[in-house]
Amino acid sequence: MNSEMTKYKFAGFGGQGVLFIGKVLAQAGMLDKQQVTWFPAYGPEMRGGTANCSVVISTKRIGSPTVGKPDIALVMNEASYHKFVDSVVPGGTLYVNSSMVPELPGREDIRFVRVPVNEIAHEIGEAQVANIVMLGVMQAITPTLSDDILEKALMELAGKKPELAELNKRALNAGKEYAKSL
């Protein structure tokens, strides 16, 4: 992983919150006074269609907001797995929502982290925070920014209502806890 620049790709179908977690990471990068880009891409169907975003966090100027070869990719559904598994740089990490993506042929040169985020989110009591659970796992295993800054960014973007703030904190912490078992 290049410590000066980290390139991310988050992908899933619309409604899974992949664009949102990209925004949270980008916001955290800005709070950390780094150079940041967030670049969304949508399928034509919007909700239920495919959605992905590229995020770049760097200590230096960023040449392009698009990410063709991410250091870290996160896929929330099987279509996104097939679309992005081959794009991760050798030595990179692919986070896979094992609740929706079966064991599939992979690659030997990247790290796979399979997480049943839908089940973990369900245990917390809210299926819609599966994306935040995955963000917590990613933060625990391949952190680019401090926990405090990431949590502050999450609260700025999702903490408008106290009950949502608490739910998102629980989801982020559940992801970090799950990562300890890996």
Tens of pLDDT, residues 100-154: 999 998 899 999 999 999 999 999 989 999 999 999 999 999 999 999 999 999 9
For residue 50, the model assigns a pLDDT of 82
Q: Is the pLDDT of residue 65 over 70?
A: yes
Q: Span 91-99, mean pLDDT? A: 98
> What share of the chain has pLDDT > 70, as a percent?
96
Instruction: Go through the domains of the chain in sequence order and give each one's CATH number.
Output: 5-180 (3.40.920.10)
Task: Determine the straight-line distance between the first and last CA of the chain, rounded to whole angstroms.
Answer: 20
Determine the residue type at 95: Y
Q: Span 152-164, mean pLDDT? A: 88
**Contact by Cβ (8 Å): 76, 19:** no
Of residues 144, 118, 146, the one with CA closest to residue 133:
118
Query: Confidence class of residue 48 from pLDDT cuts 50, 70 and 90?
Result: low
Q: Which two tokens stand for residue 92?
A: 């990179």
Query: Which is more confident, 161 or 30?
Result: 30
For residue 1, the model assigns a pLDDT of 44
What burial class does residue 14 get, using C-beta atoms within 10 Å of its C-beta: 0-12 exposed, 13-18 middle, 19+ buried? middle
Q: What strand order describes the sheet that includes 111-115?
A: 35-42, 50-58, 5-13, 72-75, 93-97, 111-115
**Contact by Cβ (8 Å): 13, 76:** yes
**Torsion from C-alpha of 99, 166, 141, 122, nearest 10 degrees:** -10
What burial class does residue 133 get, using C-beta atoms within 10 Å of its C-beta: 0-12 exposed, 13-18 middle, 19+ buried? buried
Could you tell me which residues are beta bridge partners of residue 85? none
pTM for the whole structure: 0.94
Q: Is the pLDDT of residue 35 over 90?
A: yes
> What share of the chain has pLDDT > 90, as a percent?
86
